[in-house]
Protein backbone atom coordinates (compact mmCIF):
# COMPACT_ATOMS: atom_id res chain seq x y z
CA UNK A 1 0.00 0.00 0.00
CA UNK A 2 2.81 2.40 0.94
CA UNK A 3 4.52 1.57 -2.37
CA UNK A 4 1.36 2.49 -4.31
CA UNK A 5 1.06 5.79 -2.44
CA UNK A 6 4.72 6.61 -3.16
CA UNK A 7 4.27 5.84 -6.85
CA UNK A 8 1.13 7.98 -7.03
CA UNK A 9 2.87 10.85 -5.24
CA UNK A 10 5.80 10.63 -7.67
CA UNK A 11 3.51 10.62 -10.71
CA UNK A 12 1.54 13.59 -9.44
CA UNK A 13 4.77 15.46 -8.78
CA UNK A 14 6.04 14.76 -12.28
CA UNK A 15 2.74 15.89 -13.77
CA UNK A 16 3.10 19.21 -11.98
CA UNK A 17 6.49 19.93 -13.55
CA UNK A 18 6.51 22.29 -16.56
CA UNK A 19 6.98 20.61 -19.90
CA UNK A 20 10.39 21.31 -21.36
CA UNK A 21 10.70 22.22 -25.02
CA UNK A 22 12.80 19.70 -26.93
CA UNK A 23 16.35 20.80 -27.60
CA UNK A 24 16.92 21.87 -31.20
CA UNK A 25 19.84 21.51 -33.54
CA UNK A 26 21.05 24.43 -35.64
CA UNK A 27 21.88 22.65 -38.92
CA UNK A 28 22.50 25.59 -41.24
CA UNK A 29 23.20 29.29 -41.05
CA UNK A 30 19.54 30.38 -40.66
CA UNK A 31 18.73 27.64 -38.18
CA UNK A 32 16.18 24.81 -38.04
CA UNK A 33 13.35 26.89 -39.54
CA UNK A 34 15.39 28.54 -42.32
CA UNK A 35 14.45 31.98 -40.96
CA UNK A 36 16.88 32.68 -38.10
CA UNK A 37 14.55 31.51 -35.30
CA UNK A 38 14.58 28.69 -32.78
CA UNK A 39 12.06 27.35 -30.26
CA UNK A 40 14.79 27.07 -27.62
CA UNK A 41 14.00 28.46 -24.16
CA UNK A 42 16.00 29.14 -21.03
CA UNK A 43 18.77 30.88 -22.93
CA UNK A 44 21.30 33.09 -21.15
CA UNK A 45 20.74 36.83 -21.08
CA UNK A 46 23.67 38.02 -18.99
CA UNK A 47 27.09 36.86 -20.13
CA UNK A 48 30.57 38.16 -20.89
CA UNK A 49 34.02 36.76 -21.62
CA UNK A 50 34.06 35.30 -18.11
CA UNK A 51 30.40 34.99 -17.09
CA UNK A 52 28.14 32.15 -18.27
CA UNK A 53 30.82 30.75 -20.60
CA UNK A 54 30.78 26.98 -21.06
CA UNK A 55 33.97 27.16 -23.15
CA UNK A 56 35.84 29.37 -25.59
CA UNK A 57 37.78 27.68 -28.39
CA UNK A 58 40.56 29.56 -30.22
CA UNK A 59 40.15 30.01 -33.97
CA UNK A 60 43.16 30.05 -36.34
CA UNK A 61 41.73 32.84 -38.46
CA UNK A 62 38.63 34.97 -39.09
CA UNK A 63 35.55 33.76 -40.95
CA UNK A 64 32.07 35.10 -41.64
CA UNK A 65 30.67 31.54 -41.63
CA UNK A 66 28.23 30.72 -38.85
CA UNK A 67 28.82 27.62 -36.74
CA UNK A 68 26.30 24.81 -37.17
CA UNK A 69 25.37 22.39 -34.40
CA UNK A 70 24.01 18.85 -34.42
CA UNK A 71 23.67 17.23 -30.99
CA UNK A 72 27.24 17.12 -29.62
CA UNK A 73 29.03 18.18 -32.80
CA UNK A 74 29.84 21.80 -33.72
CA UNK A 75 31.06 22.40 -37.27
CA UNK A 76 33.05 25.49 -38.21
CA UNK A 77 34.40 26.68 -41.53
CA UNK A 78 37.63 28.51 -40.85
CA UNK A 79 40.86 29.96 -42.15
CA UNK A 80 44.48 29.83 -41.08
CA UNK A 81 45.43 33.44 -41.54
CA UNK A 82 49.17 32.89 -41.11
CA UNK A 83 49.33 29.88 -43.47
CA UNK A 84 46.83 31.44 -45.92
CA UNK A 85 44.68 28.30 -46.10
CA UNK A 86 41.07 27.21 -45.53
CA UNK A 87 39.90 24.53 -43.11
CA UNK A 88 36.96 22.39 -41.98
CA UNK A 89 36.70 21.90 -38.21
CA UNK A 90 34.56 19.79 -35.89
CA UNK A 91 34.42 20.62 -32.16
CA UNK A 92 32.93 18.72 -29.23
CA UNK A 93 29.88 20.69 -28.08
CA UNK A 94 30.40 19.72 -24.44
CA UNK A 95 34.06 20.69 -24.15
CA UNK A 96 34.98 22.83 -27.17
CA UNK A 97 37.90 20.52 -27.97
CA UNK A 98 38.74 19.82 -31.60
CA UNK A 99 37.52 16.40 -32.70
CA UNK A 100 38.95 16.71 -36.18
CA UNK A 101 40.26 19.34 -38.53
CA UNK A 102 41.12 19.16 -42.22
CA UNK A 103 42.96 21.56 -44.45
CA UNK A 104 40.81 21.96 -47.55
CA UNK A 105 43.12 23.96 -49.78
CA UNK A 106 45.74 26.66 -49.97
CA UNK A 107 44.49 30.17 -50.64
CA UNK A 108 42.87 32.70 -48.35
CA UNK A 109 41.06 35.44 -50.27
CA UNK A 110 40.78 37.31 -53.56
CA UNK A 111 39.98 40.74 -52.10
CA UNK A 112 40.48 42.66 -48.86
CA UNK A 113 36.82 42.64 -47.78
CA UNK A 114 36.37 38.95 -47.00
CA UNK A 115 38.01 35.52 -47.24
CA UNK A 116 37.13 32.14 -48.71
CA UNK A 117 35.62 30.84 -45.44
CA UNK A 118 32.49 32.99 -45.63
CA UNK A 119 29.87 30.37 -46.64
CA UNK A 120 28.49 28.43 -43.67
CA UNK A 121 28.55 24.62 -43.48
CA UNK A 122 25.33 22.60 -43.46
CA UNK A 123 24.44 19.21 -41.94
CA UNK A 124 21.57 16.72 -41.93
CA UNK A 125 22.82 14.74 -38.91
CA UNK A 126 24.55 12.14 -41.10
CA UNK A 127 27.06 14.20 -43.05
CA UNK A 128 28.33 17.76 -43.11
CA UNK A 129 29.01 19.87 -46.20
CA UNK A 130 31.59 22.65 -46.33
CA UNK A 131 31.63 25.19 -49.16
CA UNK A 132 34.21 27.90 -49.78
CA UNK A 133 34.54 31.10 -51.76
CA UNK A 134 37.07 29.52 -54.12
CA UNK A 135 34.38 26.97 -55.10
CA UNK A 136 35.64 23.94 -53.14
CA UNK A 137 32.68 21.81 -52.01
CA UNK A 138 33.68 19.03 -49.57
CA UNK A 139 31.59 16.55 -47.57
CA UNK A 140 32.58 14.58 -44.46
CA UNK A 141 30.88 12.06 -42.20
CA UNK A 142 30.68 12.89 -38.50
CA UNK A 143 33.88 10.96 -37.80
CA UNK A 144 35.76 13.29 -40.14
CA UNK A 145 36.14 10.90 -43.07
CA UNK A 146 36.00 12.70 -46.41
CA UNK A 147 33.15 11.33 -48.53
CA UNK A 148 33.58 13.38 -51.69
CA UNK A 149 34.69 16.76 -53.00
CA UNK A 150 34.07 18.85 -56.06
CA UNK A 151 35.27 22.16 -57.45
CA UNK A 152 32.21 24.02 -58.70
CA UNK A 153 34.28 26.44 -60.88
CA UNK A 154 36.21 23.52 -62.40
CA UNK A 155 33.02 21.60 -63.19
CA UNK A 156 30.77 24.50 -64.22
CA UNK A 157 33.06 27.43 -65.03
CA UNK A 158 34.88 30.13 -63.06
CA UNK A 159 32.76 32.35 -60.84
CA UNK A 160 32.14 35.74 -62.47
CA UNK A 161 32.01 37.98 -59.37
CA UNK A 162 33.37 41.41 -58.54
CA UNK A 163 34.00 40.25 -54.96
CA UNK A 164 34.49 36.84 -53.31
CA UNK A 165 31.70 34.30 -53.77
CA UNK A 166 30.00 33.52 -50.44
CA UNK A 167 26.61 31.81 -50.88
CA UNK A 168 26.03 29.01 -48.35
CA UNK A 169 24.76 25.58 -49.44
CA UNK A 170 21.33 24.26 -48.39
CA UNK A 171 20.29 20.72 -47.47
CA UNK A 172 16.58 20.00 -47.85
CA UNK A 173 14.52 16.84 -48.36
CA UNK A 174 17.44 14.73 -49.50
CA UNK A 175 19.03 17.25 -51.86
CA UNK A 176 22.03 19.55 -51.60
CA UNK A 177 21.46 22.94 -53.25
CA UNK A 178 24.20 25.26 -54.49
CA UNK A 179 23.26 28.67 -55.89
CA UNK A 180 25.46 30.65 -58.30
CA UNK A 181 24.03 34.02 -59.37
CA UNK A 182 26.77 35.71 -61.36
CA UNK A 183 27.38 38.21 -64.13
CA UNK A 184 27.44 37.11 -67.79
CA UNK A 185 30.87 38.52 -68.58
CA UNK A 186 34.40 38.17 -67.27
CA UNK A 187 35.45 40.33 -64.32
CA UNK A 188 38.98 40.60 -62.90
CA UNK A 189 40.03 37.78 -65.18
CA UNK A 190 37.35 35.41 -63.86
CA UNK A 191 34.28 34.08 -65.63
CA UNK A 192 33.44 34.39 -69.31
CA UNK A 193 31.04 35.99 -71.73
CA UNK A 194 27.67 34.26 -71.62
CA UNK A 195 28.13 32.75 -68.15
CA UNK A 196 24.80 31.57 -66.70
CA UNK A 197 23.26 31.96 -63.27
CA UNK A 198 21.90 28.69 -61.90
CA UNK A 199 20.59 26.58 -59.05
CA UNK A 200 22.37 23.24 -58.76
CA UNK A 201 20.96 20.17 -56.98
CA UNK A 202 23.35 17.40 -55.93
CA UNK A 203 23.02 14.02 -54.23
CA UNK A 204 24.37 14.64 -50.71
CA UNK A 205 25.98 11.21 -50.26
CA UNK A 206 27.92 11.25 -53.53
CA UNK A 207 27.98 14.78 -54.97
CA UNK A 208 26.37 13.50 -58.17
CA UNK A 209 24.44 16.14 -60.12
CA UNK A 210 20.67 15.66 -59.99
CA UNK A 211 19.80 18.73 -62.07
CA UNK A 212 20.96 22.23 -62.92
CA UNK A 213 18.35 24.93 -63.44
CA UNK A 214 19.41 28.05 -65.32
CA UNK A 215 17.85 31.22 -63.88
CA UNK A 216 17.76 34.01 -66.50
CA UNK A 217 17.64 37.70 -65.60
CA UNK A 218 17.62 41.08 -67.32
CA UNK A 219 19.92 42.57 -64.67
CA UNK A 220 23.14 44.18 -65.83
CA UNK A 221 26.79 43.78 -64.82
CA UNK A 222 27.30 43.55 -61.02
CA UNK A 223 23.55 43.69 -60.41
CA UNK A 224 23.44 40.09 -61.67
CA UNK A 225 25.64 39.04 -58.75
CA UNK A 226 24.14 37.77 -55.49
CA UNK A 227 25.70 36.39 -52.33
CA UNK A 228 22.37 35.10 -51.02
CA UNK A 229 21.46 31.53 -50.08
CA UNK A 230 18.46 29.60 -51.47
CA UNK A 231 16.00 28.85 -48.65
CA UNK A 232 12.88 26.64 -48.60
CA UNK A 233 9.45 27.74 -47.39
CA UNK A 234 6.06 26.02 -47.39
CA UNK A 235 3.10 28.16 -48.40
CA UNK A 236 -0.22 26.33 -48.34
CA UNK A 237 0.53 22.82 -49.52
CA UNK A 238 3.46 23.81 -51.77
CA UNK A 239 7.12 23.87 -50.83
CA UNK A 240 9.16 26.50 -52.66
CA UNK A 241 12.87 27.12 -52.88
CA UNK A 242 13.17 30.90 -52.67
CA UNK A 243 15.94 32.69 -54.58
CA UNK A 244 16.84 36.37 -54.30
CA UNK A 245 19.18 38.21 -56.66
CA UNK A 246 19.56 39.50 -60.20
CA UNK A 247 17.04 42.32 -59.53
CA UNK A 248 14.28 39.85 -58.59
CA UNK A 249 12.92 37.23 -56.22
CA UNK A 250 11.63 33.87 -57.45
CA UNK A 251 10.10 30.64 -56.14
CA UNK A 252 11.16 27.22 -57.48
CA UNK A 253 10.10 23.60 -57.23
CA UNK A 254 12.62 21.95 -54.85
CA UNK A 255 12.22 18.67 -56.73
CA UNK A 256 13.13 19.94 -60.20
CA UNK A 257 14.26 23.56 -59.94
CA UNK A 258 11.38 24.61 -62.20
CA UNK A 259 10.38 28.21 -61.62
CA UNK A 260 6.89 28.67 -60.16
CA UNK A 261 6.96 32.47 -60.18
CA UNK A 262 9.12 35.56 -60.17
CA UNK A 263 8.75 39.22 -59.27
CA UNK A 264 11.03 42.14 -60.12
CA UNK A 265 12.26 44.72 -60.24
CA UNK A 266 13.38 47.19 -57.60
CA UNK A 267 15.87 48.32 -60.25
CA UNK A 268 13.74 49.42 -63.25
CA UNK A 269 16.51 51.53 -64.79
CA UNK A 270 18.93 48.58 -64.57
CA UNK A 271 21.62 50.24 -62.50
CA UNK A 272 24.65 47.99 -62.94
CA UNK A 273 26.25 48.04 -59.47
CA UNK A 274 23.45 46.72 -57.23
CA UNK A 275 24.88 43.38 -56.10
CA UNK A 276 22.59 41.58 -53.65
CA UNK A 277 23.70 40.18 -50.27
CA UNK A 278 20.65 39.34 -48.05
CA UNK A 279 18.85 36.03 -48.52
CA UNK A 280 15.07 35.76 -48.80
CA UNK A 281 13.03 35.29 -45.64
CA UNK A 282 9.38 34.29 -45.63
CA UNK A 283 6.57 34.24 -43.10
CA UNK A 284 2.84 34.80 -42.80
CA UNK A 285 2.28 34.49 -46.55
CA UNK A 286 4.91 36.95 -47.79
CA UNK A 287 8.59 36.88 -48.68
CA UNK A 288 10.88 39.84 -48.09
CA UNK A 289 13.20 41.08 -50.82
CA UNK A 290 15.82 43.51 -49.53
CA UNK A 291 16.96 45.83 -52.31
CA UNK A 292 20.66 46.76 -51.94
CA UNK A 293 22.43 49.85 -50.65
CA UNK A 294 19.77 52.07 -48.95
CA UNK A 295 16.87 51.02 -51.16
CA UNK A 296 13.50 49.75 -49.85
CA UNK A 297 12.39 46.36 -48.63
CA UNK A 298 9.56 44.79 -50.64
CA UNK A 299 7.12 42.18 -49.28
CA UNK A 300 5.82 39.95 -52.07
CA UNK A 301 2.72 37.79 -51.63
CA UNK A 302 3.35 34.07 -51.95
CA UNK A 303 1.21 31.59 -53.86
CA UNK A 304 1.45 33.14 -57.32
CA UNK A 305 2.47 31.67 -60.66
CA UNK A 306 4.36 33.07 -63.62
CA UNK A 307 5.68 36.63 -63.78
CA UNK A 308 3.88 38.52 -61.03
CA UNK A 309 2.51 42.04 -61.47
CA UNK A 310 3.13 44.78 -58.93
CA UNK A 311 -0.26 43.96 -57.40
CA UNK A 312 1.57 41.02 -55.80
CA UNK A 313 3.41 43.50 -53.56
CA UNK A 314 1.93 43.41 -50.06
CA UNK A 315 3.90 46.48 -48.99
CA UNK A 316 7.07 48.41 -49.70
CA UNK A 317 9.06 50.47 -47.22
CA UNK A 318 9.20 54.19 -47.88
CA UNK A 319 12.24 56.45 -47.96
CA UNK A 320 13.43 57.60 -45.53
CA UNK A 321 12.74 54.60 -43.30
CA UNK A 322 14.69 52.36 -40.92
CA UNK A 323 13.42 49.45 -43.05
CA UNK A 324 16.33 48.81 -45.39
CA UNK A 325 19.14 46.27 -45.31
CA UNK A 326 22.23 46.09 -47.48
CA UNK A 327 23.79 42.98 -45.88
CA UNK A 328 21.89 41.30 -42.97
CA UNK A 329 19.10 38.86 -43.77
CA UNK A 330 15.95 39.68 -41.75
CA UNK A 331 14.59 37.35 -39.07
CA UNK A 332 11.06 35.91 -38.91
CA UNK A 333 10.12 35.20 -35.28
CA UNK A 334 6.97 35.26 -33.14
CA UNK A 335 4.86 36.00 -36.20
CA UNK A 336 6.76 39.16 -37.19
CA UNK A 337 9.80 40.21 -39.17
CA UNK A 338 12.79 41.69 -37.39
CA UNK A 339 14.73 43.83 -39.85
CA UNK A 340 18.29 44.81 -38.99
CA UNK A 341 19.51 47.78 -41.00
CA UNK A 342 23.27 47.97 -41.25
CA UNK A 343 23.08 51.24 -43.19
CA UNK A 344 20.52 52.98 -40.95
CA UNK A 345 21.81 51.50 -37.66
CA UNK A 346 18.41 50.22 -36.56
CA UNK A 347 16.55 47.05 -35.58
CA UNK A 348 12.78 47.10 -36.20
CA UNK A 349 9.90 44.73 -35.47
CA UNK A 350 7.49 44.72 -38.40
CA UNK A 351 4.03 43.33 -39.17
CA UNK A 352 4.24 40.94 -42.15
CA UNK A 353 0.88 41.88 -43.69
CA UNK A 354 1.27 45.67 -43.63
CA UNK A 355 4.89 46.62 -42.99
CA UNK A 356 3.78 48.56 -39.89
CA UNK A 357 6.67 49.13 -37.49
CA UNK A 358 5.90 48.02 -33.92
CA UNK A 359 9.17 49.34 -32.50
CA UNK A 360 12.61 50.49 -33.66
CA UNK A 361 15.87 50.36 -31.71
CA UNK A 362 18.99 52.30 -32.62
CA UNK A 363 21.73 49.67 -32.52
CA UNK A 364 24.25 50.31 -29.72
CA UNK A 365 27.87 51.28 -30.28
CA UNK A 366 29.65 52.76 -33.26
CA UNK A 367 30.44 49.55 -35.12
CA UNK A 368 28.49 48.23 -38.10
CA UNK A 369 26.09 45.28 -37.79
CA UNK A 370 26.24 42.91 -40.78
CA UNK A 371 25.66 39.54 -39.06
CA UNK A 372 22.05 38.42 -39.52
CA UNK A 373 19.94 38.48 -36.32
CA UNK A 374 18.82 35.33 -34.50
CA UNK A 375 15.68 34.95 -32.37
CA UNK A 376 14.70 32.59 -29.53
CA UNK A 377 13.33 32.60 -25.98
CA UNK A 378 11.69 35.99 -26.52
CA UNK A 379 15.01 37.60 -27.37
CA UNK A 380 16.87 38.86 -30.43
CA UNK A 381 20.63 38.30 -30.60
CA UNK A 382 22.89 40.66 -32.57
CA UNK A 383 26.64 40.80 -33.23
CA UNK A 384 28.56 43.75 -34.68
CA UNK A 385 31.90 44.18 -36.46
CA UNK A 386 33.83 44.61 -33.20
CA UNK A 387 32.47 41.43 -31.62
CA UNK A 388 29.95 43.28 -29.45
CA UNK A 389 26.92 41.11 -28.63
CA UNK A 390 23.56 42.75 -27.97
CA UNK A 391 20.54 40.94 -26.49
CA UNK A 392 17.20 42.63 -27.19
CA UNK A 393 13.74 41.95 -25.75
CA UNK A 394 11.61 40.93 -28.74
CA UNK A 395 8.45 42.34 -27.14
CA UNK A 396 9.51 45.98 -26.73
CA UNK A 397 12.99 46.40 -28.22
CA UNK A 398 14.73 47.09 -24.92
CA UNK A 399 18.41 46.14 -24.63
CA UNK A 400 18.82 43.38 -22.01
CA UNK A 401 22.58 42.91 -22.32
CA UNK A 402 25.44 44.48 -24.20
CA UNK A 403 28.84 42.79 -23.91
CA UNK A 404 32.10 42.73 -25.82
CA UNK A 405 33.43 39.31 -26.82
CA UNK A 406 35.77 40.56 -29.54
CA UNK A 407 39.41 41.45 -29.03
CA UNK A 408 40.92 44.96 -29.21
CA UNK A 409 41.22 46.05 -32.84
CA UNK A 410 38.72 43.48 -34.11
CA UNK A 411 36.72 44.45 -37.16
CA UNK A 412 34.56 42.82 -39.87
CA UNK A 413 33.07 40.25 -37.46
CA UNK A 414 30.10 38.94 -39.44
CA UNK A 415 29.21 35.42 -38.25
CA UNK A 416 25.55 35.03 -37.27
CA UNK A 417 24.89 33.58 -33.81
CA UNK A 418 23.77 29.93 -33.65
CA UNK A 419 21.35 28.69 -30.96
CA UNK A 420 21.14 25.07 -29.86
CA UNK A 421 20.38 23.01 -26.75
CA UNK A 422 20.18 25.93 -24.38
CA UNK A 423 23.41 27.51 -25.56
CA UNK A 424 24.58 30.33 -27.84
CA UNK A 425 27.46 29.78 -30.25
CA UNK A 426 29.14 33.09 -31.02
CA UNK A 427 32.01 33.32 -33.49
CA UNK A 428 34.39 36.25 -33.17
CA UNK A 429 37.53 36.72 -35.22
CA UNK A 430 39.67 34.96 -32.62
CA UNK A 431 37.37 32.57 -30.73
CA UNK A 432 34.21 30.50 -30.81
CA UNK A 433 32.29 31.04 -27.57
CA UNK A 434 29.78 28.57 -26.20
CA UNK A 435 27.55 30.64 -23.90
CA UNK A 436 25.29 28.93 -21.37
CA UNK A 437 25.41 26.12 -18.86
CA UNK A 438 27.87 23.29 -19.61
Q: By the 8 A CB rule, do 134 and 166 touch?
A: no
Question: Cβ neighbours of residue 215 under 8 Å, at least 6 residues apart?
Answer: 181, 197, 198, 199, 243, 246, 250, 259
* pLDDT for 380: 98
Q: How many angstroms from the chain centroid is the CA of residue 204?
A: 20
Residue 208 lies in a domain: yes
Residue 7 lies in a domain: no
Nearest alpha-carbon partner for 425 in 412, 416, 414, 434: 434
Phi, psi at 27, each rounded to 5°? -85, -15
Q: What is the pTM of this model?
A: 0.94
Residue ranges of E strands in 193-295: 198-202, 209-214, 231-235, 238-244, 249-252, 259-263, 281-283, 286-290
| Domain coverage including residue 341 | 23-435
Which CATH number covers residue 358? 2.130.10.10
> CA–CA separation, 348 vs 338, rounded Å?
6
Per-residue pLDDT of the chain (438 residues; tens, 9 = 90+): 444 444 444 444 433 333 444 589 999 999 999 999 999 999 999 999 999 999 999 999 999 999 999 999 999 999 999 999 999 999 999 999 999 999 999 998 887 778 999 999 999 999 999 999 999 999 999 999 999 999 999 999 999 999 999 999 999 999 999 999 999 999 988 899 999 999 999 999 999 999 999 999 999 999 999 999 999 999 999 999 999 999 999 999 999 999 999 999 999 999 999 999 999 999 999 999 999 999 999 999 999 999 999 999 999 999 889 999 999 999 999 999 999 999 999 999 999 999 999 999 999 999 999 999 999 999 999 999 999 999 999 999 999 999 999 999 889 999 999 999 999 999 999 999 999 988
Residue 9 lies in a domain: no
Q: By the 8 A CB rule, do 421 and 23 touch?
A: yes
Residue ranges of E strands in 253-378: 259-263, 281-283, 286-290, 297-301, 306-307, 313-316, 331-333, 336-341, 346-350, 357-362, 374-376
Residue 11 lies in a domain: no
Residue 14 lies in a domain: no
| Alpha carbon distances (Å) from 34 to 6, 71, 79 | 46, 18, 26
- Please report how many Cα atoms fall inside a 13 Å half-sphere around the Cα of residue 199, on the Cβ side: 28
Q: Into how many domains does the chain fold? A: 1
Residue 5 lies in a domain: no
Residue 18 lies in a domain: no
Amino acid sequence: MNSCKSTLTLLLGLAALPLLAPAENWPQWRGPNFNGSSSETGLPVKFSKTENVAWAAPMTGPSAASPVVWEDSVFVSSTDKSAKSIHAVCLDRKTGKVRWQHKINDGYSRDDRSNYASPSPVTDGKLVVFFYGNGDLVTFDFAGKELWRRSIPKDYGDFAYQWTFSASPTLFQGKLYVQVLQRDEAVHGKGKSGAESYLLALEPATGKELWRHVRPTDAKAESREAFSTPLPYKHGDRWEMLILGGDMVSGHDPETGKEFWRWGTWNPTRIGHWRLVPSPVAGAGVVLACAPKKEPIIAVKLGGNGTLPDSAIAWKSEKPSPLTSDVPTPLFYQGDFFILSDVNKALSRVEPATGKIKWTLTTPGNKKYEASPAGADGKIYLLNFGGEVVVVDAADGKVLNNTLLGEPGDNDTRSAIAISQGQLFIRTNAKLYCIGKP
